[in-house]
Amino acid sequence: MIDTGIWLDDSVRQIHQALMNVGLDWKDIDQIVVTHMHTDHTGGVHAIQREVDAPIFVHSGARFALQGGMAEFERVNAYFQDFFARVAPKEK
């Protein structure tokens, strides 16, 4: 599997349904490759790990994000929240 989508249950269910649509299931995943550390690519890792025991591979350049733990996640999340607030169209 390449990337895991966002952390919402609906996203994980949609991934599972897409697998089943092509005749696969969680048990068919033997590894997970995360292309980069944005939450829309890594968010589903925890939920998918509950379904399948597969190693997760990330580029060594992502080490700072992994070692930063929750503090790094919160820093990135705050950045995106601010970004979206600035660029979102204002309601009239």
This prediction's pTM: 0.70
- Cα maximum dimension of the chain: 49
What pLDDT sits at residue 92?
66
pLDDT at residue 89 above 70?
Answer: yes
Task: Enumerate the β-bridge partners of residue 56.
Answer: 32
CB atoms within 10 A of CB 13: 11
User: Hey, what are 31's tokens?
Assistant: 């590894």
Write the pLDDT tens digit of every residue in 10-36.
989 999 999 999 999 999 999 999 998
Write the pLDDT tens digit of every residue in 21-76.
999 999 999 999 999 888 888 888 888 989 999 998 988 887 777 777 778 878 88
Q: For 77-91, b where at least 16 C-beta lie within 10 A, e where not — what string?
A: eeeeeeeeeeeeeee
Q: Which of 29, 39, 32 is CA-nearest to residue 5? A: 39
